[in-house]
Amino acid sequence: RHHHLVVFVLSILAVATWSCSTVGASPRKTPNSAKGISARLPPVKTRAKPPHIMLIVMENQGFSNIIGNQSSPYVNNLARHYLTATNDFARAHPSLPNYLELISGHAYLSAGTSTDCAPNACGPITGTTLADQLQKAHVPWRAYLGSMPRPCDTQNAGGSGGYGVRHNPFVYFPQARHGVLCRNIVPASSLLANLNAKSTPDFVFFAPNICNDGGNDAPCSTLQNGDRYLSKFIPSVMRSHWFRSAGTVIL
């Protein structure tokens, strides 16, 4: 089995949304920033383990805004060494409908999601989500949301560069706000520690703070800041027990 770094550039608001590779694809070559990490990976074991998948959601940049842009050297380095996918597109051009579609297959535009409404201000949003399916199948999962103050919080926090609830699609579904699912929708402060625990989630959803997502939604939220953040965060993930156990990262 292989350890994978599968790199997408997710553009929530741009016309062309995804860049970089397919799930399960092995890298062409280890990026320079990851040298020394792959070399320390443990020997391949014959006993199969459940795959570990992490989806990291960045913001507001289309393929042409990222690929070839000198302001994003780290992501471009990843894109040069891993496969690219270029035929996926945003559903709509605020954030919320695309996040909802990522976990449910529906954008819920008739519920007012095109205004990036807060959970208590949107129309009814109901249905089955990826979280419901994982929970039913007893697959360990967890969603990590920037500096969200408490599990499944439905209010923005930390100012313009902090936690934006519109980037947390899980809490728009009533079953996630009230019940066992809520325990798995947590602040991101525990993410790296959890990845190095003996028992790790098989599926991880991660949306960083607005300052770190590269989406220009705040003065601190520049493309350069997002790239610098990923250049530190992704190598930390690659060193984790979680990644060494059949980990795949989708950016």
Q: Model pTM?
A: 0.82
Does the pLDDT of residue 20 top 60, yes or no? no
Find the mean pLDDT for residues 196-202: 93
Residue 44, token pair as written in the block: 């391949």
pLDDT classification of 13: cutoffs 50, 70, 90: very low
Q: What pLDDT shows up at residue 54?
A: 97
pLDDT in tens, 58-84: 999 888 899 999 999 999 999 998 877
DSSP of the chain, one letter per residue?
A: ---EEE-----SSSSB---S--TTPPPSS--GGGTTTGGGPPPPPSS----EEEEE---S--HHHHTT-TT-HHHHHHHHHS------B-SSSSSHHHHHHHHHS---GGGTGGGT--TTTS----S--HHHHHHHTT--EEEEETT-SSTT--S-BSSTTSB-GGG-GGGGSHHHHSSGGGGGEE-GGGHHHHHTSSS--SEEEEE--GGGS-S-SSTT--HHHHHHHHHHHHHHHHTSHHHHTTEEEE-
pLDDT in tens, 26-49: 444 434 433 333 344 455 555 556
Q: What pLDDT shows up at residue 69?
A: 95
Q: What pLDDT shows up at residue 42?
A: 55
Q: Position 132: which residue type? A: D
Q: Is residue 203 within 8 Å of 141, Cβ to Cβ?
A: yes
- By the 10 Å C-beta count (0-12 exposed, 13-18 middle, 19+ buried), 189 is classed as exposed
φ, ψ of residue 56 to 5 degrees: the values are -105, 120
pLDDT classification of 12: cutoffs 50, 70, 90: very low
In the chain, the largest separation of any two C-alpha atoms, in whole Å, equals 51
